[in-house]
Amino acid sequence: MGKKLTARKEDYSKWYNELVVNADLAENSAVRGCMVIKPYGYAIWEKMQAELDRMFKESGHQNAYFPLFVPKSLFEAEEKNAEGFAKECAVVTHYRLKTDPNDNSKLIVDPEAKLEEELIVRPTSEAIIWNTYKGWIQSYRDLPILINQWANVVRWEMRTRLFLRTAEFLWQEGHTAHATKAEAIGEAELMNNIYAEFVENFMAIPVIKGTKSENERFAGAVETYCIEALMQDGKALQAGTSHFLGQNFAKAFDVKFASKEGNLEHVWATSWGVSTRLVGALIMTHSDDNGLVLPPSLAPIQVVIVPIYKGDDQLAQISEVANDIASKLRAAGVSVKYDDRDTQKPGWKFAQYELQGVPVRLAIGPKDLEKGNVELARRDTLTKEVVSQEDVVGIVTGLMTTIQENLFSRAKNYRDEHISKVDSFDEFKEVLKTKGGFLSAHWDGTSETEKAIKDRTKATIRLIPIEGEKEAGQCVFSGKPSQQRVLFAKAY
Amino acid sequence: MGKKLTARKEDYSKWYNELVVNADLAENSAVRGCMVIKPYGYAIWEKMQAELDRMFKESGHQNAYFPLFVPKSLFEAEEKNAEGFAKECAVVTHYRLKTDPNDNSKLIVDPEAKLEEELIVRPTSEAIIWNTYKGWIQSYRDLPILINQWANVVRWEMRTRLFLRTAEFLWQEGHTAHATKAEAIGEAELMNNIYAEFVENFMAIPVIKGTKSENERFAGAVETYCIEALMQDGKALQAGTSHFLGQNFAKAFDVKFASKEGNLEHVWATSWGVSTRLVGALIMTHSDDNGLVLPPSLAPIQVVIVPIYKGDDQLAQISEVANDIASKLRAAGVSVKYDDRDTQKPGWKFAQYELQGVPVRLAIGPKDLEKGNVELARRDTLTKEVVSQEDVVGIVTGLMTTIQENLFSRAKNYRDEHISKVDSFDEFKEVLKTKGGFLSAHWDGTSETEKAIKDRTKATIRLIPIEGEKEAGQCVFSGKPSQQRVLFAKAY
């Protein structure tokens, strides 16, 4: 707690960083680009994990765990994937330290403990996993393999930002193996749909589903499916991706199976992942100048009760009411914190829980006690009302749904207002500059055009929409024919 | 599945390795000393995690996440800890690969991408965490900090074994900060007790609580509390440790707080952890020559139902009964798999579920259908009985508790029979050789004696018991006075 956050209008990026740190979500560490996820931030991630894990298991997936390290020879086996990640990977070269002969209090890398083959800290696990699957797959009876892993990965990014882009981050990565191309494509689409459902229903963040252009595709994928969300500053954020990998990894690692017909065929693959980056999307979708705003589904504390009192007698009376409300709410499945600490004043507590995005705050003072009332404040609307102690449990329980829905529809209205059809490159540049958001434009399908537009505007193709009508037209840049509009935006 | 396991009597170590691989728990990977935890093994670990996590949270702890890497300068800050782990740590020295100029298809470490300061892959996180706590702690109001982390750690062990000793392993590590010595000691003891409760009640493994001798203490700890279990081959296994770290890390990282009285004091610390090693303990406590034996609390599948049939009509009739039993068991909180695959024969399935330790197997054939019966087989006792379909749900539900208790008491009887009081060094050597297990012996309290005994017998002091009567006597090796017996054993 302490001073107010920088206003979003003033400096959105500064506001974001201050919010993450002041709301106790995360902070930078002594390791360049790596963050510490603090308990409050981690509790939000745990809620996301639990829900995703449930959805994965219900759709037939199992968890497993593969090594942190990838031997260089495996890392380079799938050419495009290796090329895509080589520029940003942490490399283990030694396995021992020894006392510095020049200074007994220091340690140095022991030159005699050099590894024969360098180990790459996984930036993603396709290589190590497909090398393992090779031993698991002989026949069609061994397929499909539907595995997910919760893990840390490392990508040596040069410019990092808490949650959005960190050298180490936490994620889940699914890796599946299938007998047919159609089944693998079905899996990649299914997981993209599951991500969309999770992000929309659980995180209250509206997304658009699509596929990536070749430039933006995952290194080693044949097709990348994605969901994209729009942040408050008009920039897009990729909220999840699901890749159809074709037979690329099966060929690189020589993974074949005997089909029902007795033929030896290469296996078809997918991979899919979401990461702690989603916490950044959560912040930049719902929060305001007062701090974090959390949808009830993700709030570690859904309701906080603060007593306003003078003296122990008054506190005892208020506590009786507060504890009664708390236990009724808990019985209704609502998580409640009763904060009766005497080390902090009510005003400090109000500001703190506002900063931390607790959806509902109840305050009980002497007058409320007299009249049988409670003051109820909603974090999403910043509104207050006085309700009777009798009604409060029913009202708060109902608010859990109301707030969740309100946050989603507010974000969806904003997003929908920021999808602009543009039909000339001048218009493209003008709208991007003045309004931001998604630009729905025709594109000739070439990487050259996409790069030319990116060089001139910093906007990239976020996705080629899967849903909606597909009208033909002319590329906004080259004038060449186009089969459908795609969505451009500046992106995180 | 496939051929039988090597018998335990023949080669215990070989039996263990075959069991781990054949029961689909884990396997070695392409990375030296690192394992792949397969879905069935990981499901057991997930059950352990869920229960431990619940116990940690109920005792006031929160989860957080700290970086995978420790800069060398932080790593070496606490001298004893650094010394203890320097010989086995993986070191990241570079952050980029580039194309090999001599062979375009290969990658090499880019010499220009050398880190200014090497990064150690965490073997344990005291250093990075206490460097972080420094920023979190100013006053007594900031204390205690009660944080746990679920993470992977790396120790470059030269001789590795699946689950028991791997270069990378999964664990949880608690790191707490306190205002007083007494409070920190209380926390270290509390967590050791929580571990004991978990391992005994949930894993059905009896343990003895104690403290470690100086030789066996965690590097950087003032006192190490531990729980020790006894494996079927007479060797001990450390099942969990909890360390009172004194002010060692607070001093190394200059972490002070203003006390209530306004004095600046160093903070008191604890750390505690259990790891995937516990899966090894689970295997070597309960399993037999037919494979894994799981206590119901940890079994991913508690009951399997196998139909024995000829033709679709019979299968349909059996399935009706099986699904009815399955749904009633599920309603009673029992996890059930109905395995009606037609790709495998019943005998194959029986052997497979036996190998994988499923606690109860139900089989339904045409005769059972006729008579309204089910064949019930217990994995722990390898007994079979015929029960009526009417009674089966009640019987199986009851068996969940019965089997859990039976496994615990069987292991406890074995353990108790293998604690031998020895009063001379000849007796010590004789019992160790012929019977193994724990040797309860007097010890003079010196590291010299402990080392001398270890050199001659490979037995170490597993613990100095906390509970039980403490009689004085004479050291079994030196004849010098001793305050209480301690437990020696060969250990994993």
CB-based contact A89 B97, cutoff 8 Å = yes
CB contact under 8 A, A97 and B105: no
- What does the alpha-carbon distance between residue B365 and residue B307 come to, in Å, rounded to a whole number? 6
Asked if residue A295 belongs to a domain, the reply is: no
The answer to whether B459 touches B488, Cβ cutoff 8 Å, is: yes
- Provide the CB-side half-sphere exposure for A294 (13 A, CA): 28
Residues in chain B closer than 8 A to A106 (CB atoms): 76
Q: Please report, for the domain that includes residue A62, its CATH number.
A: 3.30.930.10
Distance CA A226, CA A277 (A): 14
The residue of chain B with its CA nearest to that of A147 is B39
- Residue A434: CB atoms within 10 A of its CB come to 9
CB-CB neighbors (< 8 A) of B131 in chain A: 30
| Residue ranges making up the domain that contains A395 | 303-399
Q: Is B482 helix (H, G, I), strand (E, B) or coil?
A: strand
Interface of A with B in 183-222 (CB under 8 A): none
Q: What is the pLDDT of residues B9-31, one digit of tens each?
A: 999 999 999 999 999 999 999 99
Residues 241 through 280 of chain B touching chain A, CB cutoff 8 Å: none
Q: Does A151 touch chain B (CB under 8 A)?
A: yes
Q: φ, ψ for residue B192 (rounded to 5)?
A: -65, -40
Clarify whether residues B247 and B191 are in a common domain. yes
Q: Which of A219, A251, A286 is the last residue of a domain?
A: A286
Are residue B49 and residue B165 in the same domain, yes or no?
yes
Determine, yes or no, domain membership for A98.
no
At what angle are helices A79-86 and A126-136 packed, to 10 degrees?
A: 150
Work out the percent of chain A whose per-residue pLDDT is above 90: 98
- Taking a C-beta distance cutoff of 8 angstroms, is the pair B237, B231 a contact? yes
Confidence at residue A343, expressed as pLDDT on a 0 to 100 scale: 86
How far the first Cα of chain A sits from its last, in Å, is: 28
User: What secondary structure, in 3-state letters, does A50-96 show?
Assistant: HHHHHHHHHCCCEECECCCEEEHHHHCCCHHHHHHHHCCCCEEEECC
- Which CATH number characterizes residue B482's domain? 3.30.110.30
pLDDT at B2: 57
**CB-based burial of residue A315 (10 Å sphere; 0-12 exposed, 13-18 middle, 19+ buried)?**
middle
Quote the pLDDT of residue B469. 85
Give yes or no: residues A171 and A249 share one domain: yes
How many Å apart are CA A291 and CA A284, to the nearest integer? 11
Q: What Cα–Cα distance (Å) separates residue A295 from each residue in A230, A279, A417, B58? A: 17, 12, 22, 25
Look at B91 and A97 and tell me if their CB atoms are within 8 Å: yes
CB–CB of A93 and B109 under 8 A?
Answer: yes
Residue contact B168–A71, C-beta within 8 A: no
* B109 part of contact set with chain A, CB < 8 Å: yes
Residue spans of chain B under pLDDT 50: none
**Which residue is associated with the tokens 């037209």?**
A473
CB A425 within 8 A of CB A444: no
Q: Is residue A97 part of a domain?
A: no
Min distance A226 CA to chain B CA atoms (Å): 27
pTM of the model: 0.97
A38 to chain B, any CB pair closer than 8 A? The answer is yes
Cβ-based contacts of A258 with chain B (< 8 Å): none
Which of B30, B67, B91 is the closest to A29 by Cβ? B67
CA separation for the pair B447, B457 (Å, rounded): 15
Cβ-based contacts of B34 with chain A (< 8 Å): 67-69
Cα–Cα nearest to A176, from A204, A218, A137, A208:
A137
Q: Which residues of B425-450 are buried (b: 16+ CB within 10 A; e: fewer)?
A: beebbebbeeebbbbbbbbbbbeebb
Q: Considering CB atoms only, which of B27, B86, B91 is closest to A92?
A: B91
Q: B291: which DSSP letter?
A: B
B44, B311 Cβ separation under 8 angstroms: no
B104 touches chain A (CB under 8 A): no
A128 vs B30, B37, B98: nearest CB: B30
Q: How many interface pairs between A and B have CB atoms less than 8 angstroms apart? A: 189
Quote the number of domains for chain A: 3
Nearest CA in chain B to A72: B107
Q: Tokens in use for A253?
A: 């690692």
- d(CA B382, CA B378) in angstroms, rounded, equals 5
Are A67 and B118 within 8 A, CB to CB? no
Nearest CB to B42 within list A64, A67, A170: A64
CB atoms within 10 A of CB B382: 11
Question: What average pLDDT does chain A have?
Answer: 97
Contacts of A109 in chain B (CB under 8 A): 91, 93, 118
Residue of A nearest to B78 (CA): A105
Any domain includes B411: no
Whether the Cβ atoms of residue B183 and residue B246 lie closer than 8 Å to each other: no
Rounded Cα distance, B93 and B123, in Å? 16
| Residues whose CB is less than 8 angstroms from the CB of residue B113 and which lie 6 or more positions away in sequence, other chains included | B94, B95, B96, B98
Contacts of A123 in chain B (CB under 8 A): none
Bridge partners of A20?
A: none
In angstroms, the CA A275 to CA A277 distance is 5
Q: How far is A156 from chain B (nearest CA, A)?
A: 6
Q: Which two tokens stand for residue A314?
A: 């008054």
Amino acid (one-letter) located at B418: H
In terms of C-beta density within 10 A (0-12 exposed, 13-18 middle, 19 or more buried), how is residue A111 classed?
exposed
B156 Cβ under 8 Å from any chain A Cβ: yes
Same structural domain, A86 and A230: yes
Is residue A362 pLDDT above 70, yes or no?
yes
**For A248-264, how does the pLDDT look when each residue is reduced to its tens digit (9 = 90+)?**
999 999 999 999 999 99
pLDDT at A270 over 70: yes
Q: Does the model's ipTM exceed the 0.90 cut?
A: yes
Taken in order B320, B326, B330, B331, the sign of the CA dihedral is positive
A368 and A440 both lie in a single domain:
no
Q: Which residues contact B375 (CB under 8 A, 6 or more apart)?
A: B362, B363, B364, B365, B368, B384, B385, B386
Q: Contact, A153 vs A124, CB < 8 A? A: yes
Burial class (CB in 10 A: 0-12, 13-18, 19+), A97: buried
Parallel/antiparallel/unpaired status of strands B145-154 and B62-63: parallel
User: For residue B393, what is the domain's CATH number?
Assistant: 3.40.50.800
Q: Are residues B62 and B204 in the same domain?
A: yes
Tell whether A4 is covered by a domain: no
Assess whether A391 and A278 both reside in one domain.
no
Q: What is the largest CA-CA distance in chain A?
A: 83
Say how far apart CA A218 and CA A216 lie, in whole Å.
7
* Residue entry with tokens 């139902």: B305
Task: Tell me the pLDDT tens digit for each residue of B154-195.
Answer: 999 989 999 999 999 999 999 999 999 999 999 999 999 999
| Structure tokens that stand for B204 in this block | 């059905």
Closest-CA distance, A485 to chain B, in angstroms, reads 38
| C-alpha–C-alpha distance, residues B89 and B153, integer Å | 10
Interval B342-352: pLDDT, tens: 989 999 999 99
Pairwise CB contact (< 8 Å): A94 & B94: no
How far is A23 from chain B, CA to nearest CA, in Å?
A: 14
Task: Quote the tokens at residue B263.
Answer: 């004095």
- Spell out which residues of chain A touch residue B119, defining contact as CB-CB under 8 Å: 31, 90
> Which among B46, B70, B92 has the least Cβ separation from residue A92?
B92
Model pLDDT for residues A20-73, shown as the tens digit of each residue: 999 999 999 999 999 999 999 999 999 999 999 999 999 999 999 999 999 999
Q: What is the CA radius of gyration of chain B?
A: 26
End-to-end CA distance of chain B: 28
For residue B467, what are its two tokens? 């509970």
Q: Residue type at A55? A: M
- In the predicted structure, residue A268 carries a pLDDT above the cut 80: yes
Q: B134 — contact with chain A (CB < 8 Å)?
A: no
- Residues B215, B280, single domain; the answer is yes
Check CB contact under 8 Å for B90 and A119.
yes
Single residue among B399, B427, B455 that ends a domain in this structure: B399
B144 contacts chain A (CB < 8 A): no
State whether A31 and B79 contact (CB < 8 Å): no
Q: Are A307 and A364 in contact (CB under 8 A)?
A: yes
Q: Do A74 and B29 touch (CB under 8 A)?
A: no
Same domain for A139 and A200? Answer: yes
Q: Is residue B160 part of a domain?
A: yes
How many Cβ atoms are within 10 Å of B182's Cβ, its own excluded?
10
Q: Is residue B325 part of a domain?
A: yes
pLDDT at A134 over 90: yes
Residue of B486, B469, B462 lying closest to B224 (CA atoms): B462
**Nearest CA-CA partner of A466 in A125, A177, A228, A152:** A228
Instruction: Show which of residues 41-60 on chain A sit within 8 Å of chain B, judged by CB atoms.
Output: 42-43, 45-46
Q: Residue A469: its pLDDT value, please? A: 85
| A143 and A275 inside one domain | yes
B120 vs A contacts (CB less than 8 Å): 97
How far apart CA B242 and CA B148 sit, in angstroms, is: 13
Cis peptide before A144 (omega within 30 of 0): yes
A245: in domain: yes
Contact predicate A20/A165, CB 8 Å: no
The answer to whether A37 contacts B109, with C-beta atoms less than 8 Å apart, is no
Q: Does A72 touch chain B (CB under 8 A)?
A: yes
- Token representation of residue A452: 């030319």
Interchain CB contact of B335 with A (< 8 Å) = no
Model confidence band, residue A2 (pLDDT cutoffs 50, 70, 90): low
Local structure of residue B192 (DSSP, 8 states): H
SS3 sequence of A420-486: EECCCHHHHHHHHHHCCCEEEEECCCCHHHHHHHHHHHCCEEEEEECCCCCCCEECCCCCCEECCEE
Task: With CA atoms as reference, report the closest residue to B489 among B455, B448, B454.
Answer: B454
- Identify whether residues A40 and A86 lie together within a single domain: yes
CB A177 within 8 A of CB A216: no
Q: Report A:6-35 residues touching B (Cβ under 8 A).
A: 27, 29-31, 34-35
Residues A140 and A170 in one domain: yes
Residue of B36, B70, B352 for testing the chain A interface, max A β-carbons within 10 Å: B36
Pick the last residue of a domain from A286, A312, A333: A286
Q: Which of B69, B99, B260 to mutate to test the interface with A (most CBs of A within 10 A)?
A: B69
